[in-house]
Structure formats: structure tokens, C-alpha cells
Chain A
Amino acid sequence: MPSRTVSHGSSGRLRGLFLVMVLVFLESSVFTLAFASSDQHSPTTAHSDGHKATDHGSHNNTGKAFPVLDLNYENVRVPFEISLWVLLASLMKLGFHLVPHLSNIVPESCLLIVVGLLVGGIIRGTGETVPPVLDSKLFFYILLPPIILDAGYFLPIRPFMENLGTILIFAVVGTLWNAFFVGGLLYGVCQIGTESSSILSRIGLLQCLLFGSIISAVDPVAVLAVFEEIHINELLHILVFGESLLNDAVTVVLYHLFEEFSGIGTVTLVKGFLGVISFFVVALGGVLVGVLYGILAAFTSRFTSHTRVIEPLFVFLYSYMAYLSAEIFHLSGIMALIACGAVMRPYVEANISHKSHTTIKYFLKMWSSVSETLIFIFLGVATVAGPHDWNWTFVTVTVILCLVARVIGVVGLTFIINKFRIVKLTTKDQFIIAYGGLRGAIAFSLGFLLEKDHFPEREIFLTAIITVIFFTVFVQGMTIKPLVELLAVKKKQEAKRSINEEIHTQFLDHLLTGIEDICGHYGHHHWKDKLNRFNKKYVKKCLIAGERSKEPQLIAFYHKMEMKQAIQLVESGGGIKLPSAMPSTVSMQNIQPRPPTKPAAERAIPQLSKTKEEEIRKILRTNLQRTRQRLRSYNRHTLVADPYEDGLSDLFLKKQKMFQIEKKLKEMNTYLTVPAPPPDSPTMCRARLASGKHTDFKPDQVQKGNKMCSDPQAYSIKPALNKVPMIQVDLASPQSPDSVNLLDEFGQANQQEEEEQGLMMKPPSRPREGKKPGEEDEAKDQQKLMRCLSDPGPSADEDEDGAFLP
């Protein structure tokens, strides 16, 4: 340890300096805030003061010198304060991560609350009154939505839907159980227990139930803050988190219900029944509003191809509108927000540009992070500020009851749920779910909303709520990480999905749907399949712009992976061995007689020169772009492709590349193998046909072309597997005779097969017409093809293949 500090002396000093700066800033900001809050008492007088001052100034213009430097804080007070708070929050967040081991032991939420307490303490210490920062309006309309939107937009839909039943049961039944258990027992304790403190005995049943409903809801902000740091497996995460989101509907209904009832004082059965109905209205109504706005957002994003800059704005605005609209009707705003985000995401992401996607992601993360930080700090400040009424019995009983209720609820519900689940929840899972039931700022804000005249015991409630929040966040938040380690709970696996998983998962989906059909049982897969079909047939057409609407998910996934790899390749710089997952290191050959050279070929990955890398990048990009464009022309009904469809710029780029590559190849001695000599896609063949006048084709090529075009359905299952035309593409210099000869025999063997089958694995020759260099190449191509059927010219090859990488 000492040696480490010595070597890190300079950075340590820098860190220390930074922390000191932060502290100084903190102090000064606190004083400013205190100063500012003291002005809060007289906003009107301040205004008039300002007026008077200016008047005074103007009056005294003749007498006093023109004020070169003037202090006018009042005008900027509010924005200044807000900015100051936000800056404080961000600096705190920054500071925590600089202190070496703090963030490992203590979760951020705890630290932020402590900071809030400090700030509140300092403000109070200076004698000023602490500003009531955790105003409910501020909380519900400004601080909460970004967090929920972030959660909803990035909600992992698949695990959420798979566990929806479990989540709903926990959210609805669990919260109801908690509320009634805590409320009821608390009332009992209040009545029976303390005769001395008559305050408690005055608390009615309804008030207790209201309190129970406020305190029983698991808080998404706190859960997110803590669970993000412990990285447990996806199932548990989605269970606790989903529960915290969906229980909002229950909380809203119960809160309003009990508030109404305690106001009126009588409970009738009809009212109870109406309460149940209102729950459904609130929940489903919220979801409906969210879905509506989500669809609107998706539809709007379809037309934003010309105004890419404001695309993210639509996402944010529509979501916020969904939240506010739901709040108008007292529906569950959180559920509206989640539904909106989840619904619009797939369509919006298909429509918007990559940069907008990044923008949305980072803005959401930034806002939610700032909001979270602010909420916790304000919680600390409000603790110092708020009027407190500490009542030992009430508080301790509340805390104990909350814990007990949670454990009993989880265990009991799991017992029932496990009967219906395929993957059972183990005891460890149950423990984590129970332990992860954190309360947070929502409870506090709901308590804060209570009116003093209806609820004289408001302060007792608030104190108890704050205590429970502190207990769960500090004690449970801090200990959950070591407990997770101790119990060896399964952690989250890295999210990188391989294309294999994607293919096989889709395959299994189809398989299971079929099996369900055979069983005659309309299960999970059946409905999912139906939904997917509906989605593909109708919804995608409306909401996704252009041709992306027809792109199947697997292709989109594949594109994403290729792009990622291309970016990785570029970022990692040249000269580094490519990861073996690069698709093109395997040649498309299955030639048994050549095993000795094959490994050499693959392993002989040359050092990448910068220019080569450039080419790779360009090729990847253009090819990816082109595959997307190809979709446009692949249509059974348009037999003649538009030769200019791919764009002239594309052509020029290709020509350039071709020249460069040819030059390079003459220099290079290495034996590069190229994968996937792209087969004759229908586009190519049709294009060739269309341009048939300009180039002279080999007759059998045209043959194949014809056959292909007329019979695109020849792709059906072929039993004869030995006829798989595997081609070794040799990128060796065109002059080398060996390569050609070797392939010649193979080419011969292939010739027959390729005649018969519809499977085209031939590379296309130049499909573009009218360009001179192209034709030259084609002539060259024809020569080569004369010699060996399946061997493309290197130039033609280079451009057309997918994911070319040496």
C-alpha cells in the first residue's frame, strides 16, 4: 500500500486538490443558496425592490456615477439556483468516483443522501431555513419522468414479456398485501399499544391504510440505483425492476382511494367495488395512453429523414406528453411512459439515423442520471428541513412491519407462482427479491402531498417514511452486494449475442410454435407468433419508412454486428491480429485435398497496412449499404433492375477501389482467401441481362442467369448435399498459373452441378453498364471464366463480397 501511494503521489495530489476544490465550491454554493432562500420570503418585495432600485438609479442618474459594475441577483435567481443544484449534484457524482474505494463499498445513493444531509445541515447551521426542495410538483413532473423514460425505452422486452405474469402478480397482489398488512397491523398497534401517546390512538384505520399504501410500493429509482451496481442476472433484475414499475398503478389507485375515503369518512361496498374498477381503468388506461403516443411517435419518425437533427426531440416530447396526459386523468403516468417508450422503440430505431439513436441514448442516460442524483440529494436536504415528529413506537413498528410484510409476501406469492412457472424461483431468488424491495423518493413525495388539515399526523408519517427509506437504502443497499457474493447468486452475463444464438433462437421459436400447433395448445409461442405476423404485415408497413419495413430481424441484427466489428477493426488500428470471429478468414472452400494450405492461408493473416484497412472499411461500408439497397430491387414483380439504382457515387467509389486493389494485389504475394464469393443474386443476374448488350457473356452464364431468374423458388430444400458447390476463390495475382490450374479441375467438377441447380454461388461479373473500366474488367473476367468457371476475377470479387477481410 505505501509503495502504491508513493508512486501515485502526483495523481493523488491532483485528486486531493480536486476534492478540496469541490468542497470549497460546495461551501460557496451552499451559502449562495442560503442567501437566496432568505430572499424567498419576500418574492414580491424583491421585485418591487428591484423596481425601486432601478427607479432610484434612474432618479439618481444625475447624482451618481454610471454604475460600471452592478449586482443584480434577482433576475437570475431561479435559473441560477437550479443550475447550482445540478452542478453540485454532478460534481458530487464525479467526486465519488475519484475517491478510490468508496464506490465499491457504499452505493451511490447512500452517498448522495449523505451529501444532501450535509448540505441541509450547513444551510440550517447558517441559520437560514432550508428551502423545501423536494416539492412534489417538481418531483413528479420534472425529476421522475426522465428516469422512468430511460427505464422504459431500454426495457428488455423479451425477458419482461416472458415473466409478465410473475411481475404482475408481485406488483399487484404483493403491493396490495403489503399495504393492507402494514396498514392494518399498524392500526392495531396504535390502538392497542400505547395509551400514553394519545396521538397514535387518534390515527384512524383509513389513515393507517393510506400510510400503508404509500410505504408499501417498491421504488423504481432506488431499485435502479442499487441494482445497477450489483449486476445480478437478468431474471431477478427484471422481476424486481418490473415490479417496481408496475406497482405504480396500484399505488396511485390505493392512494387516491384512501385519500377520498378518509376525507369522506364512510366506506361502502359500492365504493370498494368502484375502487377495484378504477384500478383496471388506471392501469389499462395508462398503458393505452402510452401506446397511443408511442404509435404517434413512431409514425412521426417515419417522415424525419430530412430533418434528422430534431429526431430525438420527438422521442422525448411524445413520451413526456404521454406522461402528462395520463396524469391529467389520474391514470398511471409511469405505466404510460413505459408503454410509450417500449412501443415506439423498435419502429423509431428503424427510422432514425445512427447519430440520432446515439443522441437519444446519451440524453436519456444523462437526464436520468442527473435526476437520480438530484432526487437523492434533495431527499437528504428534505430530511433536515422537514418538520419532524419522531415517535419511537410508530417508526420502529413501521420498519419491522415493512420487512416482515415483504418477506411473507414474496414467499407466499412465489409458492403460488412456482406452480405456473417453467423455471422455478429458488429460495435464493426469493431472498434477493424480498431484499431488493427498496423504498424511495416516491413514497416521500406522496407523503409530502398529504394535506395538513386532513391529516394532522402528517409529520409522523413523514418521519416514518423517511426512516424506512433510509433504512432500506442504507442498510439494504449497502449489504446487498456482499450478500449477492455470499449467496453466489448468478450474475449478469455479458450481453454480446452471437449470431448463432440469434439464428438458433429464432429457429427454436418457429419450432416451438409448430409443436404447440401439433399439441393443439395455444401457448406462449403461438400468441407471440401471431403478434409477430400482425406486426410484420400491418404495423411495420405503416410505421417504418421506406424499405426497412421489410427487413427481417435477423438481417438487421447481422448488419449491426458487422458494423460493430468494422468499427472495432478500425479503432483497434492496423497490425493487430484480427479476432477469429471475423467471418472472412475462413475460405468458402470445402476442398479436402487442400488441407495443408488451408490452415496456412487462414493463419497467414498479414499485417494490415493502413491503406488496406481503409479499403476494408470502405468495402464493408459500401457493401452493407448495398445489401440494404439490394432489398429494394429484390422484388418478384420487377424483373428489370434499374441499373442506376445504386447511385453513381457508389460506382465511382468502386472504380477507385478497384484500381487501388489491383495495384496492391500485384505487389502482394500473400495468399489471401476471400470468403463468400457472392452468388448471383437475382439483382445481379437481372442487371446483367439488362446490360447484356454491352458485355459478352458466356452462354452458360446467361443460361444460369435465365434459370435463376425464372425460378427463384429453386431455393427449396435440396437433398443432394454432395453437390454443394464450394468454391475456392484465389486472390493470387491473376498471372499466376498455378492457382488457376488447381482450381480448374475443381471448376470442371462444379460445372455440371451448377448447371442443374438453382443455387448460385458464382460471383457476379460487372453488373454495371456503360462504364468503360468496368467493361475492361469484364472482358478480363470472361477470359478467366473461360479457364475456370468458378474463379472470379479478383477485381470483381473484391467489390461484391460481403465482409471482405483478409
Chain B
Amino acid sequence: MGSSSSSRNKIPNAQELMDQTGFSSAHLLRLYDRFECLDRDNRGYLRQDTVDFSSFVRILAHFRPTDRNRNKEGTQQELPNSRTRKLKFAFQLYDLDRDGKISREELLQVLRAMLGLQVTEEQLQSIAERAIQEADLDKDDAISFDEFKKSLEKVDIDTKMSIGFLK
């Protein structure tokens, strides 16, 4: 107990992080070790000073397995590993300009990154076209977050976006 609290002191805002993300202190410690391991120059930031430890933890908190049996209080929505939050995180990866919608160009970029040089531009266009066709319900030619959520309603996001290691 003593040792954990003293090492917890290494981590700034440990308690706050634990409350917000739902990680236990043991987990937090493990993640901190990993963070230090990745942060080779010991700068306290990863990736050219953009990601500090609390953002690191917050992002990874999205991938905690959802605890389905918890009673549905209001706090359920706030935890990063709820289904909505997970989807929001994925959505933000598509939506690069943060306008709340995935435009065709953004979708194309993702497709290009995924499929790379194996396909022709034409095919990518067709696929993006079709994807937007299917998902776009209000016909604004872009996929909003709700439409995104709806198109993935059959996919078990709770399982797909969870890493057991982070439980």
C-alpha cells in the first residue's frame, strides 16, 4: 500500500485521472511505466510534445472493456469506455477537421490509408460514394456522428474496441 501511494505520487493528478477514466491505481502505474518506456528522452511528452501522460491515459481509457452489468446511472455516459464515447473517439479519427461530419474527402483519406496502392482511385471513389450513400440519412452528403453511430449499430463496439489488458 505504502509503495503504491508513493509511486502514485510520481503521477500528477493520479486520483483525478483514476476517477475520470476508471482505471485502478495498479493499472495507472502500469501505464505510467509504459509511458516512461516510450518516452525515451524523458521529456514527459510523447510525439513531439503533444501527448503528455494524462492525455495518454485518457485516450487509452477509451479502450477499456465496458462493464455492462453496471447500473445505468448518469455517470455511465461520462466514463470514457462507454459505447458512445468509444464511437466518438473513432469518429474523431475520421473527422480530421473537427466539423462534426465525415465528408467524402475525409472518408477517402481513410480509405486510401487503409488500402494504399492496391486499388485504383476510381474504386476508392466508388466505395466512398457507396459508403456515404448508405450511411447518409439526412442527405447532406456527409456522415454525422449520429449517422455513424447508426451505421455501426449492429457491430459489437464494446467488444471490438476493447483491449482486455486494460481491464
Contacts and interface: CB of A to CB of B under 8 A. Distances in A.
7 contacts: A498-B151, A500-B151, A520-B37, A590-B104, A682-B120, A717-B96, A724-B104
A208 interface: no
Contacts of A726: 104
A508 interface: yes
Given A682-B120, A717-B113, A519 B34 contact: yes
Given A424-B69, A712-B117, A521 B163 contact: yes
Contact of A681 (B93, B122, B156): B122
Given A519-B34, A552-B119, A717-B109, A586 B134 contact: no
A422 B158 CA distance: 8
Contact of B122 (A506, A523, A679): A679
A715 to B, nearest CB: 5
A504 B120 contact: no
Given A422-B162, A719-B96, A721-B105, 14 more contacts: A503-B114, A503-B127, A504-B151, A504-B155, A507-B114, A508-B90, A511-B161, A512-B63, A516-B163, A523-B163, A555-B118, A589-B141, A681-B120, A721-B97
A682 B121 CA distance: 8
Interface of A: 162, 420, 422-424, 493, 498-501, 503-508, 510-512, 515-516, 518-521, 523-525, 550-552, 554-555, 558, 561, 580-586, 588-590, 599, 602, 627, 630-631, 634, 636, 675-676, 678-683, 712, 715, 717-719, 721, 724, 726, 759-761, 800, 802-803
Interface in B140-167: 141, 151-152, 154-156, 158-167
Nearest to B31: A519
A550 B158 CA distance: 32
Contact of A679 (B94, B125, B163): B125
B106 interface: yes
Contact of B165 (A511, A521, A554, A585): A521
A516 B111 CA distance: 21
B79 interface: no
B93 to A, nearest CB: 7
A799 B117 CA distance: 24
A680 B139 CA distance: 27
B93 A630 contact: no
B32 to A, nearest CB: 12
A586 B141 contact: yes
A631 B158 contact: no
A802 B125 contact: yes
B126 A558 contact: yes
Given A507-B110, A555-B123, A721-B106, A515 B65 contact: no
Contacts, number: 188
B55 interface: no
Contact of A558 (B103, B106, B123): B123
A441 B163 CA distance: 41
Contacts of B133: 580-583, 585-586
Given A422-B164, A586-B141, A802-B125, A500 B120 contact: no
B131 interface: yes
Given A583-B126, A681-B120, A555 B115 contact: yes
A523 B165 contact: yes
A714 B118 CA distance: 15
Contact of A510 (B31, B114, B118, B129): B114
A515 B126 contact: no
B105 A724 contact: yes
B119 A423 contact: no
Contacts of B119: 552, 555, 631, 634
Nearest to B120: A681
Contacts of A602: 139
A609 to B, nearest CB: 24
Nearest to B86: A508
Contacts of A590: 103-104, 141
A515 B118 CA distance: 25
B97 A558 contact: no
B150 to A, nearest CB: 9
A623 to B, nearest CB: 9
